[in-house]
Amino acid sequence: MSLSLPGPSQAGLFKPGYQSHDAEDGAVIRNIEACQAISQTVQTSLGPYGRNKIVINHLQKMILTSDAATILRELEVVHPAAKLLVMASQQQDAEMGDGTNLVIVLAGELLKKAEELLRLGLKTSDIVQGYEKAQNFALKVLEDLEVDRLQDLRSQTELTKALRTVVASKQSGTEQLLASLVAEAVLSVLPKNPVNFNVDNVRVVKIMGGSLEQSRVIKGMVFGREPEGSIKKAHKAKVGVFSCPIDISQTETKGTVLLKNAQDMLDFTKGEEERLEAAIKELYDSGLRVVVAGAQVGDLALHYLNRFNILVIKILSKFELRRLCRVVGATPLARLGAPMPDEMGSVDVVETTEIGGDRVTVFRQEDATAVTRTATIVLRGATQNHLDDVERAIDDGVNAVKAITKDPRLVPGAGATEIQLVERISAFADRTPGLPQHAIRKYAEAFEVIPRTLAESAGLEATEVLSRLYTAHHQANAGVKSTDGDDDDEEESEDSEEERSSGGGEAEAYWTTGVDLEGSSSSGTLDTVEEGILDLLSSKSWAIRLASESARTVLSVDQIIVARQAGGPKPPGPNPNWDED
């Protein structure tokens, strides 16, 4: 009989106010529960028919979206384990710009399956080891599931094909319109080497009113305001960018001027006018015909700028000012004066146009050899919230193009890839000896959450649809499975192509079968390749990697030690007796 000794006491080890949660207290289970809570929050927002969430942040701003990255950013999660999932989602957003929801949902499901294993008595080390093996195998299998790749990046049709699914997951119903808008904008700024594509070169301007169909692409930068003066157009002009106010310079210290009579007053103001006129004439003589101000423009300065036929526009956002400098090739100056030739920029056209009753100014570079070209998608819509959500969908689409330039491979969407992974990883688990095989099998089962959620959100009978999917994938794999789990998918896809062309076999017999969200087929399944529902392989790969990493990290934590918050006494609250005399 072994003697049970109490563990070492932490009294006197840390400063007063520390909190410690041990594995014995169920810290691992509590961490898993916290992660599941956050996973369930965003799970209903997965896919084209995912529900929107209304989040009202600490500034009382209302955000209406189904984008997981935006929801979690605005929620300000404080639980340390749940924060790990949020950080994984943010990393996916930074790397791919899409698939943030997939990371959270998959990680939450992996932890849910791990909890089942923990309750059965498996050690966390066995689960972590099994998950690691399964992850490596899943990424290897994913490489074999390629069904298509973009041959020509400069073809709008090809690009739209890849972007449709990305945009549809946020804006179902208008994906064709938005995908073609993004493709048109991207192709107008795509450099000779597509790998150098900069997502910042595609801008979005939201103008209230009209309908989404009236949205269009303008080649250039669009600012939602008119020029300040009476000059509204300029062609082939030199541009000067000033981050300082264009006005009479103010003295640093207060001074007193004693004026004895009216003549002194006239001479004083005349001197100021002459100084300012000389400064504006200096700009004109240097060849500037367009002035961009990052601060205020004085009335007197505006008068002289109009007299010298110089177009002046005010851009108060320093980020927009920086982007404009990059487009026109100018250097922002902190002083008012003639810029050096290398500090000036040039622009082909500056013009003011009207979009839906709003006057906007467009800076356009028409030269095809320009180093930096910018395209702006002008979005129209009825409400600000809707426009914001469409902007997020477009942002995902533009980021997807960046991912396509690095890896143009596509895999089946609509849950087909996930079901195929369930099949292949389960077969791998059967061949793995030892305790990790249980973890590998649970890892495979976790992927089932994606098609199940897609079916549920579309209002289908999830269990029925899943059983049909499993049957289709099992039949498709029956003839081509090899002992090492690596299939020759190229031959397989060629065979299936021949089958399709000859009209033999039903759609349900292909391993590319996914969930039919539109409800066009009675079985609730469809062939994703025929329907053009394709996901980016690189986006899926990153999502699996990040979800597995974060799940393993959460499982590896056995103790959380929280220090007392820094800071002095809390500020006094409202007086409860305020209404008493």
Please answer whether residues 414 and 528 qualify as being in contact, where contact means their C-beta atoms are separated by less than 8 angstroms: yes
End-to-end CA distance of the chain: 72
Q: What is the pLDDT of residue 489?
A: 42
How do residues 535-551 score in pLDDT, each as one tens digit?
A: 888 888 888 888 888 88
Single-letter residue type at 436: P
Q: What is the pLDDT of residue 26?
A: 67
Q: In terms of DSSP H, where are the helices of 355-458?
A: 384-406, 416-430, 436-446, 449-457
Q: What is the pLDDT of residue 523?
A: 65
> Three-state DSSP class for 375?
strand
Domain covering 214-248+268-406, topology: GroEL (3.50.7)
Q: What is the pLDDT of residue 506?
A: 39
Q: In terms of DSSP H, where are the helices of 246-298?
A: 262-285
CA–CA dist 522, 69 (Å, integer):
35
Exposed / middle / buried, residue 433 (Cβ in 10 Å: 0-12, 13-18, 19+): exposed
Check if 18-147+414-476+535-562 and 214-248+268-406 are the same fold. Answer: no
| Global pTM value | 0.76
Pick the CATH number of 18-147+414-476+535-562 from 1.10.560.10, 3.40.640.10, 2.60.40.420, 3.40.50.720: 1.10.560.10
Domain residue extents for the chain: 18-147+414-476+535-562, 214-248+268-406
Q: What is the pLDDT of residue 542?
A: 87
CA–CA dist 37, 34 (Å, integer):
5
Q: What is the pLDDT of residue 18?
A: 62
CA–CA dist 345, 241 (Å, integer):
8
Q: How many CA atoms lie within 13 A of 389 on its CB side?
A: 27
Q: What is the pLDDT of residue 217?
A: 83
| Positions in the chain short of pLDDT 50 | 1-7, 481-509
